[in-house]
Structure 1
Amino acid sequence: MHGVGEMLHDRPLAGLTVLDFSQYLAGPSCALRLADFGARVIKVERPDGGDACRSLYLADLGFDQDSALFHAINRGKESYTADLKDSRDLDAVKRLVARADVLIHNFRPGIMDRIGLGWEDVALLNPRLIYAGVSGYGPDGPWRDRPGQDLLIQSLSGIAWLSGEGAGPPVPAGMSITDMMAGAQLCQGILALLVRRGVRGTGGKVDVSLIETAIDLQFEHLAVHLNREEGMPARSEVANGNVYLAAPYGIYATSDGYLALAMTRVDRLGEVIGLDELGRFPADRWFADRDAIKTLLRDHFLTATTTDWLAMLAPAGIWAAPVLDWPALMAEPGFAVLNAVQTVQSPDGAELRLTRCPVRFDDQILRSPRPAPRLGADRATIDREFAA
């Protein structure tokens, strides 16, 4: 039973219709958030297999005919199958476009124009439409037709280089951060244009790319790099956490686990943990001598447990945290109070546990019990509705 605040008609985007032509992660994650906010999302898929993510299995985990990953980013949507190369299907899709509020796609630059669903085409059909595109590398330039894949983007953009220690190899993030952030950026752009439409009454076009998203993700570091005459900054040889932050910032092994230390005064830290040697480093050397400082900390932290160190650090107001794996995180009271997990149910009663929308409106947690749609499950119903 769901409370009033969790009903779709009470959410901010209730009454809006979104056509989601996108596949994989970036575009669908944007459409997912719009669905969480109350929009009706119709996923337009090819009849032969649909979104390629339906068959993209992680750890061989499936649910209700498709991959669990597909359900994680397409829950709560409807599925409409159409062969966009077929004139009858294309006409049917154009009927949807004429009455929709938002269209999302992640086709390579030029594809939607060739189909007849480019911005200029759809603006004639529906001047109030918000037209949202996500690409790998933007509409122009020598990279525009390259595969827009997250690991490749992390590698090209410098993100993978930021992680790892000293002269070690680049280390990419363990999840698709540029895909998900591009989806979030696209969602922001759509919401901004919906606000403008409410004022001016006209639609608009918004585009993001994975590479521009990856560059923007590094704005803090690039702001320094672009304004100093230097090459690449050095990564710490020990406990690298941020190429521009001084010791002790980083993660350290303890006798039974790992401990993360954020920004803090090195001299104060030495007093709290009983490492007097840290007192010989003046404040103006905490960056230049960070590897020497971190080496002392690395050896010292191995002498006690994570719990022991936190018992000293927390009362002293030093920013520190244990490094948790997922089982340990989910055993924490702080995780339990978040109610971060929801259950969706397939038509035959099977259940899948997924994360929920992280945004709250009017203090209400947003949940959606509906899984991702089966391929083409809603076409007949939608055709009847939009033919009226």
Structure 2
Amino acid sequence: MTKPLEGIVMLEFCQFMAGPSAGLKLADLGARVIKIERPVHGESGRQIAIKNIFIEGNSLVFHTINRNKESYAADLKNPADLAMVKKLIAHADIITHNFRAGVMEKLGLDYGSAKAINPRIVYGVVTGYGNNGPWALKPGQDLLVQSLSGLTYLSGTRNDGPVPFGLAVTDIFCGAHFAQGLLAALLKRAKTNKSVLVEVSLLESALDMQFEVITTYLNDGGKLPMRGAANGTGHAYLNAPYGVYRTKDSYLAMAMGDLPAIGDAIGCKITVLFPDPARWFGQRDDIAKHIADCLREQTTSYWVALLESLKIWCSAVFNYRDVLEHEGYKSLEMAQEVQLSGDNTLTTTRCPIRINRQKIYSPVAAPLAGADTDSINHEFNLTTHETT
């Protein structure tokens, strides 16, 4: 399959999660992504691990978001290496970085300087909180951004206090936004034949994630979101039955639906106990408690079969073992094997995008630091004697 971005060359100065995850999306779509890294040790993300798992000297996290890329080692404080990187910029379509403010300017690799080298360059920047304001130099770390953005008051229940997501959700969303911006910039460049600057921040992505609830807050007299108090019904703005409930043997999730019909189906007389629909939102905790009491009488599989037959939106609540062993997951063919050194492989997920009904797989593992320096120097005829 010919991938949509084949022929696009991207230089990735980004580290950690948000920027490299955008690079992964473009690499899966066919772009040639070259990581510009420190000699020997590479980017700092190589040593940031989940559960302290390392594979071939690099963290498992690094492998998950840097597969299908190349690595070019350059000491950007060394004039000779810097000159070669600038020469490489002349051949690139995209540059991305997430250095703190002022770093690329000192190196002569800021947008204006890159545009002077390559007038058609798409230049992408990831920051934590934007370029200005009191947080501009604050560390752009996912948990800090979740905490500052209000996001931690949307999970759990009213009695829990702030609850952050158990994954780097602002990094991941920001990476997706970054990829969208870079793709849009490529389209604009194709029309204008001129360079484009793309900027995203973790905080803006975290705020955009919450556009529904922030809009509600702004148009509801400034009332803070109030999570539900009952078990599994923490959403700040949705009535019962929305939530997760304990059953006789596990858990059941129910989305929005016709409350009287749901009550009748599970033997819970909602309309008798709560006859005024106008008051249901204010009574949602009490309603949820009555629903929870009824659902404990039967197993999850019993309720799913009954409720689905009545077109009521519901689901069992799966853990990773449940979902990965289910035919619903297997039919998607989401898993792929990435080839490491020798006969070793790493199992991970594939690109979620399909092109012309074809799934996108990329078995190329994350590179060792500087693994492609020599071949790239030869391909682009880069030498230490060349200057910009």
- Taking structure 1 as the reference length, the TM-score comes to 0.96
- Whether the 8 Å contact between 1:270 and 1:279 is mirrored in structure 2 is no
Q: Write the distance in 1 (CA, Å) between the matches of 2:374 and 2:40.
A: 17
Mapping 1:1-388, distance limit 5 Å: 5=1, 10-238=2-230, 239-281=232-274, 282-387=276-381
* CA-to-aligned-CA distance 1:134-170 (integer Å, 9 cap, x gap): 0100000110000100011000000011112113211
Distance apart, 1:277 and its partner CA:
4.0
C-alpha distance in structure 2 between counterparts of 1:234 and 1:30, whole Å: 34
Instruction: Deviation per CA, 1:171-217: give whole Å up to 9, x if none.
Output: 11111010011011011111111001111111210000000111111
Residue type matched to 2:245 in 1? Y
Pairwise CA distance, 1:126: 0.3
- The DSSP-based 3-state class of the residue aligned with 2:139 is coil
Q: What residue identity is the alignment partner of 1:331?
A: E
State the aligned residue count.
Answer: 380
Render the CA deviation track for 1:272-304: whole Å, top value 9, x for unaligned.
111124543232222111001001112221121
Structure 2 counterpart of 1:308, which letter? Y
Distance 2:151 2:40 in 1: 36
**CA–CA distance in 1 between the matches of 2:279 and 2:187?**
49
**What is the alpha-carbon root mean square deviation over aligned residues?**
1.1
Cα contact 1:64–1:350 (8 A) shared by 2 = no
CA distance in 1: counterparts of 2:15 and 2:109, whole angstroms = 17
TM-score (norm 2): 0.96
Contact 1:266 1:286 in 2 (8 A): no
User: Secondary structure at the residue paired with 2:152?
Assistant: helix
Alignment-mate amino acid for residue 311 of structure 1: A
User: How much has 1:113 moved relative to structure 2?
Assistant: 0.8
In structure 2, relative to structure 1, the CA distance for the partners of 1:279 and 1:36 (3 Å cut) is farther
Q: Which moved more, 1:230-239 or 1:34-43?
A: 230-239
Q: Is the 8 A contact 1:241 1:251 kept in 2?
A: no
User: Which amino acid in 1 is paired with 2:123?
Assistant: Y
Displacement of 1:65 in angstroms is 2.5
Spell out, residue by residue over 1:93-127, the C-alpha distance to the aligned partner (whole angstroms, 9 max, x if none): 10111110000100012211111100000000001
Secondary structure of the residue aligned to 1:359 is strand
* Whole-Å separation in 2 of the counterparts to 1:67 and 1:376: 16
SS in 1 for 2:64: helix
SS in 2 for 1:32: helix
SS in structure 2 of the partner of residue 354 of structure 1: strand
5+ long unaligned stretches in structure 2: 383-388
| Kept after mapping to 1: 8 A contact 2:259/2:270 | no
Cα distance change, pair 64–138 in 1 and its aligned pair in 2 (3 A): same
Residues of 2 paired with 1:174 and 1:261: CA distance?
22
Which aligned runs of 4 or more in structure 1 are off by greater than 6 angstroms? none
Check conservation: 2:339, 2:364, Cα contact below 8 A: yes
3-state SS of paired residue (2:114): helix
Contact preservation (8 Å) 2:268, 2:294: yes
Q: In 1, are the aligned partners of 2:267 and 2:294 still within 8 Å (CA)? A: no
Shift of 1:263: 0.3
Aligned mates of 2:145, 2:266 — CA distance in 1: 41
Return the offset for 1:61.
2.1
Q: In 2, distance between residues paired with 1:316 and 1:379?
A: 61
- Offset at 1:48? 4.2
Q: 1:314 aligns to what SS in structure 2?
A: helix
Q: 1:41-68 CA distances to partner (integer Å, 9 max, x unpaired)?
A: 0000111411112112222322232111
What percentage of aligned pairs have identical amino acids?
Answer: 43
* Structure 1: runs of 5 or more not aligned: none
Structure 1 residue 227, shift from structure 2 partner: 1.3
User: Deviation of residue 241 (structure 1)?
Assistant: 3.7
For residues 10 and 136 of structure 2, what CA distance do their matches in structure 1 show?
Answer: 26
User: Is residue 40–residue 369 contact of structure 2 (8 Å, CA) maintained in 1?
Assistant: no
Bigger mean CA offset, 16-25 vs 45-54: 45-54
Partner SS state of residue 29, structure 1: helix
Question: Matched residue of 2:225: which SS?
Answer: coil
